[in-house]
Each structure stands twice: as C-alpha cells, then as structure tokens.
Amino acid sequence: MIDRLVAKIQKTRAPIVVGLDPMLSYIPEHIQKKSFREYGETLAGAADAIWQFNKKIVDAICDLIPAVKPQIAMYEQFGIEGLKAFQKTVDYCHEKDLIVIGDIKRGDIGSTSAAYATGHLGKVQVGSKEYSAFDEDFVTVNPYLGTDGVKPFIDVCKEEKKGLFILVKTSNPSSGEFQDRVIDGRPLYEWVGEKVAEWGQDHMGENYSHIGAVVGATYPEMGKVLRNVMPKSFILVPGYGAQGGKGEDLVHFFNRDGLGAIVNSSRGIIAAYRQEEYTKFGEENFEDASRAAVVDMIEDINGALLRVK
Amino acid sequence: MIDRLVAKIQKTRAPIVVGLDPMLSYIPEHIQKKSFREYGETLAGAADAIWQFNKKIVDAICDLIPAVKPQIAMYEQFGIEGLKAFQKTVDYCHEKDLIVIGDIKRGDIGSTSAAYATGHLGKVQVGSKEYSAFDEDFVTVNPYLGTDGVKPFIDVCKEEKKGLFILVKTSNPSSGEFQDRVIDGRPLYEWVGEKVAEWGQDHMGENYSHIGAVVGATYPEMGKVLRNVMPKSFILVPGYGAQGGKGEDLVHFFNRDGLGAIVNSSRGIIAAYRQEEYTKFGEENFEDASRAAVVDMIEDINGALLRVK
C-alpha cells in the first residue's frame, strides 16, 4: 500500500492528505437544513449532513490529491449513524481512487489490537464467510502498549498489503508531557521512533516501509531528528494550517528524494470557505474554496521543497 | 459516578467487573447456529449471536456484580452491526442497573478527544436537540498525548457526573517497553500515575476521584507502588484469570478501607464453560458456568483481602 501511496503522490505531485474531520459547525447551513428537512434534527440528520458535505468536497478535490484521512471520532460522536457516514465516506473515497488513512489511533493488548486490525484493515470470519467491516488502507495506531499491541496490526497489514502510521510525536501543545521525557539521554519519542523503524523493517515496500509514523508539523526540529531515526518510514504530518505549521517548517520531514512525508490539513481545507482568503467563493460554493485551498497548500509545500533542493 | 460504583461494590461485596469481550469462538454453537439461521452467516448474524450470548450472561450474573466492561474492539470488528450489539449491550446492562465501563482506550488531540468524550460519555448537539450516542458510565483513556488529550474527557465527566480509567501500566507482556523506561530515576508509569492523581484532584467524589487508572494484575509489585502514588484513584485491574493474575497478587491494589480497586475478568467468566472446573455445566448452560466462575472469583479476591487484614 505504501508503494501505491508513493505512486499517487508522484502522479499528483501533491505530498498531502486532506483530513475529513467534519464538525457540524463547519457544515454550511444549506446542507444542514436540507438534511434536517429530510431526517429531522436527529443523529441520522447530522450523519447525512456530514456525508453530503464530505461528498461535495471529495468530488471537488479528488483529482488533486493522493489520499484522505477521515478522523473517526468526528463520526463516532454521532453513534451508529455517524459511523455509517464514516463507512460511506471510506467507500466513496475508494470509488474515487483515493487512498484512505483511517485516523483511529487504536491500540490495546494483543487479542484486542487484533480485533481492531481486523475491523479496520482486515477481514472478519463469520461461519464460513469473510467480511471487511471498515476497510481503510492505512490506520493510525497508539504505541503506548508496546510491541505486542502493535504487532497484530502489522500482521494484518502483511496479509492485506496495507499500512500503519504509528504515533511518535503528536502535534498537540502538551504532547511533550510524556513524549519528550528523557530516557538514557534521549527523549521518549526517539525511542518510539526507533521501534517504528524496527517494526517497519518487517514489512517493507519498494523503497519505504508500509509502517510509517505520525510526527506533528508543530515540532519541526523534532521532525528533522526523527527523519533520520526512521529513514525508511513515511511520516504522516498533522498540524499544518489551522494548528500552526507552515510549508517551510516541513521540509525536514522529507527525504532528499522529495518523498517520505505526507502532510495533513483538515479544517484548513474542509472549512476553507470561512477563511478570509477564500470567503469570495461564498458559503454556497464551499467546495470550490476547498479546492483553492488544496491548490495553495500544494504550492506552499512544493515551493518550500524546491527552495531547499 | 465513582460514588455509585463504590456503593455498588459495597452492596454486592464484589470488587469485580466482568469483561464482556465476546469472540465468536467463545459463543456456544447453539447460539451461533440460531443467529445464523435467522440472519445468515453475515455481520448481522455475528452481531446477533454476540448480543444473545451477552444477554444470557448478564441475566445470569447481574445480581452478583457492580459493573461490566465491554471491550468495544470485539464489536467494532463486525462493523456497524457489531457496534449496534455494543450499544444494545450497554443499554441492557443499564436496565439491569449495572455500571458500564466502556473499554475504548481512546485518546487524541483536544478537539478530537472532545468528540470521543461526547460520543461515549456526553451528549452531542444536533440543531436544537441533544443526543447520547453510546452513553457508558466510565471509559478507558490512553494518556500518550498528555494533558490536553485527557482534559476534554474530564470536562465531559464533570458535566455528566461520569468517570475515567486512564492507562498507567497495562497488563500485556511488552507493556514495559515504554511504560517501564526510567525518567529521572522513576519509570514512566509512575509519572503517568502522578498525572492521573493530579487530574483526579480536579474531579473528586466523596472519598475517591472520578478519574481512575488502569494497572495490570500481572504486575503486582508495580500495583503496590502505584497504589501509593494515586491514593485517591480507583484502579481498574485487568489481567486476572486468563492473563495469569490471582487474588493474592491483587491485595496491594486495594487501600486499607478494602476499596480502591476493581478487578476485571473477561474470558475467565464469559467462557468459563470451557474450563475444566466448569465443564460439568455443559455448553448448553454456559451462563450457569459464568455465574459459578463469578462466585469463585469473588471468593478468591475477598478471601485474599481478608487474609491481609
């Protein structure tokens, strides 16, 4: 799956991923009203609004980008109906030939991690039949439980030719509380990064491992160090745009081949119509604002990468 | 919610929680066959089998125990249908006056943790209406992202009078890989434990905090240390039974008041009918085997607690 991601990045010339993390408050009123008219102000109504919003955005940007990253929490908060919208979104993005990174941040003891891996990347056995439940291409994984919490995910990835992004250094302000603590002279995130590199050797694609890492755009210096600790791991970089990261901060997340990182923006793209730069499109044409924001983001990152070449 | 848990533990004299983590392979053939007859070998069929299995077990043991802990991964692997069975199980356990600890191990950056907290403990706003999606009483949380990943859960807990159990030292074999690493002379799990105590001060019940911790039964020495680090935090102790923990290992997880810990057993109870001790009940009467296993577990733990008094 990492080889497919690399090929799609090369084809689109866009090392970016769009986070489909819709809060209801981002969704233009005309979409919400229409869904509520049909389903009432219910969980099904909210889920329909999310789905209609996602669909419009995906239609508007799918030719520009290699991948999307739906954040499952934003769907899970609406219960079963929300999760149906998550599943619909994953399936629709596949129809549009997009790679889907399920941002699920799961992680548990062995047999439980195996169940999550089965549900999101693999196939579950029911009697003599097999079913894919959510069927993402990559998922994010929390490493706090150590190797035997991660290994079941890797096993399923091998079977299904899929991949992972494992949390190493997260983008949030208090990520340092535990992740930066120094152990034998080096911060915890470096130790985790080293493990990611080790786990990754076990499931290699052509030039990169199927097992990648998450490192926040908000910590560019640490990104530079981690790039070297995990030379064969793709880095999924959240925190661009709304969380404060800029193109020039991100160059050291990439390798010299211009690959090795994929930068996520969520709110900055899906709620672009609310930013001053893009208000000219109007709320009615929010998807055009999203498309313009994608074009600008690609230019920002590629420009920064060209300047360091 | 912690006060309700304490009251229920005192009433039942059972500091235990039963993990409702059904794998299809645990479910007796007659139940599976019946569900498959009705729904086919489908995800809906699997979910129905899980639900029928849970219901029988809950009916057989609900008068003996204060709480249950459904592990959401075991439902999530069957997709939307599985999650419907999760929701049904949570609701049914509430009908039976059981406290429900959702073992979800979520944790993310601020706004995303807020969405998980809303979905599992709180109410989500849809237009002018509010809905509870999954509505557990407690959930488990992964602390790797630090305070701002945990705080949104605590905020919802305060509003809804609910609680958390935060992963400190997990029961699995490789939990030490990161959790035991020494930082300024003390292992990471102690630093996390200290944070749990600090977070917990912010949301206190009568004698205990609504913010508890998870510490594996498989590490009794560490449990002893952590008991002192977090004197006001209830400890949820997985790893009893199938994972190897025994009653006598667990006494130091408790405070002198005989409270402060709640011990989980999953497979040891729900699949008791397969253990030599309980085969006499027969697969057809699996729920009676579960009831006997609950009685034995309570006796084992209370016996061990009495011996140290």
Q: Residue A150: its pLDDT value, please? A: 98
User: pTM score, two decimals?
Assistant: 0.97
Helix (H) / strand (E) element for A224: namely: helix A220-229
Q: How far apart are CA B87 and CA A185, in angstroms?
A: 46
Parts of chain A with a pLDDT under 70: 242-243, 245
Q: Under DSSP, is residue A101 helix (H, G, I), strand (E, B) or coil? A: strand
Active site residue B105: yes
Q: Is A116 an 8 Å CB contact of chain B?
A: yes
Q: Do A79 and B134 touch (CB under 8 A)?
A: yes
- Taking CA–CA distances from A239, the nearest residue in chain B reads B109
* Residue B242 to residue B130: CA distance in whole angstroms: 41
A76-122 per-position pLDDT tens digit? 999 999 999 999 999 999 999 999 999 999 999 999 999 999 999 99
Q: What is the pLDDT of residue A246?
A: 78
Strands (E), B147-285: 163-169, 182-183, 186-187, 211-215, 235-237, 261-265
Question: Are B42 and A126 an interchain contact pair (Cβ–Cβ within 8 Å)?
Answer: yes
Q: Dihedral of CA B33/B36/B41/B46: which sign? A: negative
Residues B126, A45: C-beta atoms closer than 8 Å: yes
Backbone angles phi, psi at B230, to 5 degrees: -125, 65
Distance CA A187, CA A182 (A): 4
User: Torsions phi, psi of B13, nearest 5?
Assistant: 50, 40
Given this model, what pLDDT does residue A242 score? Answer: 67
Q: B116 — contact with chain A (CB < 8 Å)? A: yes
Residues of B in contact with A174 (CB under 8 A): 145-149
Structure letter (DSSP) for residue A245 = B
Interface of A with B in 131-160 (CB under 8 A): 131, 133-134, 142-149
- Assess contact for B49 and B35: CB atoms under 8 A: yes
Total beta-carbon pairs less than 8 A apart between chain A and chain B: 224
Look up residue A4 and give its DSSP letter: H
Q: Which of A107, A135, A130 is nearest to A119 (CA)?
A: A135
Task: Label the pairing between strands B99-106 and B211-215.
Answer: unpaired
Residue B294 carries which DSSP code? H
Chain-centroid distance, C-alpha A306: 24
Nearest to B191 among A32, A118, A178 (CB): A178
CA neighbor of B20 nearest in space, from B87, B116, B95, B106: B87
Q: Which residues of chain B have a CB within 8 Å of the CB of A129?
A: 41-42
Please say whether the dihedral angle defined by the alpha carbons of residues A11, A16, A21 and A25, taken in this order, is positive or negative: negative
Name the active-site residue from B105, B123, B151, B161.
Answer: B105
* ipTM, 2 dp: 0.97
Closest Cα to residue A87, out of B131, B128, B84, B135?
B84
Cα separation, B120 vs A46, whole angstroms: 17
Tokens matching residue A16: 């970016």
Segments of chain B scoring below 70 in pLDDT: 242-245
